[in-house]
Amino acid sequence: MDKLIVRGGQKLSGTVQISGAKNAALPLMAASLLTDARLRLSNLPRLADLATMGDLLNHHGASVTIEGAMGNGRPYGRILALEAPHITDTTAPYDIVRKMRASILVLGPILAREGLARVSLPGGCAIGTRPIDLHLDGLKALGAEIELNEGYVTARAPRGGLRGGRVAFSKISVGATENLMMAACLANGETVLENAACEPEIVDLGECLKAMGAPIEGLGTPRIRIMGQASLSGATHRCMADRIEAGSYAVAAAITGGRVTLAGAEPASMQALCDILKEAGVDIAECDAGLIVSREGPLRPVTCTTHPYPGFPTDMQAQLMALMTLAEGESVITEAIFENRFMHVQELARMGADISVSGSTARIRGVGSLTGAPVMATDLRASMGLALAGLAARGVTEVHRLYHLDRGYERLEEKLLGLGADVARVAA
């Protein structure tokens, strides 16, 4: 098992290329199960989660072919050609699904296409309860019969296939919105999704589904209308840039007092984060390449609550907290999405951070400096928060359980080294 060695104190500078978005790529890959034609996806990152999704698609009978350029002997900015002429197995097994929560996204496409799907209850990061009841209730609204037995969800469509209908989500869910969007594309008639997620990744998936032949209206709004089709065609689609990776490197520039150009970043998808960083004293400017992020003055404390898009993203909460450990004053961060997403607090405390937690709210009192220490990653975004803290800390920080980072950050050490960081991956 690898660990990341970070020797802090280097101001980051230069340009970093932002990869395609993991959270967009996974549902795009799952959409390949909706058609027997080829779906060609470009700008996909090289990540462990995408490899897991590829294994799952292979299990269902899809072929996944890597095309595209190579860099330093490793593929990046990849093009994947996915083709599923036949669904050879309608069961998504525990051994694959347990590795990644996004595996649940094959449920809707397989059910819509085959009339039957059996999917293991998903795994993923331990950041709190994330039930799939919204997925299942939505499929029931399209006529599906659902059974839960021995750790598996079995969904059956009525004779003649799923029926279009109205799905009113009781709370906003990105995954449930994605699953229902895909299922509705092959349902009979029109489906209307109410209280749908508005994230840019939802829009990206919708644009791909439209290219495959599904008429969709209302992308980026809480009300999405989809007219089901008898079949979908193949398509070519470019995955959007990863706004969370871009935000993480923005914090890297800010926490080290550096200046970094985020090439390929999409500013429109990052407005809430940029607003908070500017409030904290970080300079952010748009440029032809994307965004330029820098900081020269002191960090100011902020008050922030995570919200669904277009609010401040929960996936940036740990990174912001790491930054605020060095602000001049007290910051308040409230986690309103997941109830167990402060596990990085005790690890930051090992580095000298002054943080207290009461319920869903953390109070971060800025300290003069952090000190390197061995720390344990508890989930994907917490891992990045700890690595960012290490960049600014005095001495050496060891981030253990590096596999969490590999799930969501492409070529992390290579990109940080390119910005002047002193980092290395070593065997633990």
- C-alpha 370/C-alpha 327 separation (Å) is 12
Tokens in use for 218?
A: 């209302």
CA distances, 298 to each of 323, 327, 328, 378 (Å): 11, 7, 7, 29
Consult the annotation and say whether 172 binds a ligand.
no
Cβ of 275: how many Cβ atoms within 10 Å? 14
Q: Strand 283-286's sheet: what is its strand order?
A: 13-17, 259-263, 290-294, 283-286
Consult the annotation and say whether 379 binds a ligand.
no
**Nearest residue to 204 (alpha-carbon basis) of 178, 236, 239:** 239
**Nearest residue to 422 (alpha-carbon basis) of 395, 382, 385:** 395
Consult the annotation and say whether 134 binds a ligand.
yes
Residue 264 DSSP label: T
Q: Strand 303-305's sheet: what is its strand order?
A: 303-305, 330-334, 361-365, 354-358
Residue 424 DSSP label: E
Consult the annotation and say whether 204 binds a ligand.
no
The residue whose two tokens read 């269902």 is 60
* Catalytic annotation present for 125: yes
Consult the annotation and say whether 406 binds a ligand.
no
Sequence-distant (6+) residues with CB within 8 A of 322 are 251, 255, 348, 385, 386, 388, 389
Consult the annotation and say whether 79 binds a ligand.
no
CA distances, 427 to each of 3, 142, 374, 393, 402 (Å): 6, 49, 14, 22, 10
User: One of 125, 185, 208, 304 is an active-site residue; which one?
Assistant: 125
- C-alpha 2/C-alpha 399 separation (Å) is 9
Is 377 in contact with 405 (CB distance < 8 Å)? yes
Alpha helices in 280-327 (DSSP H): 317-324
User: What percent helix, strand, coil does the chain show, rounded to 5?
Assistant: 35, 30, 40
Binding residues for UDP-N-acetyl-alpha-D-glucosamine are: 101, 130-134, 315, 337
Q: Which residues are catalytic?
A: 125
Binding residues are: 22-23, 101, 130-134, 315, 337
Binding residues for phosphoenolpyruvate are: 22-23
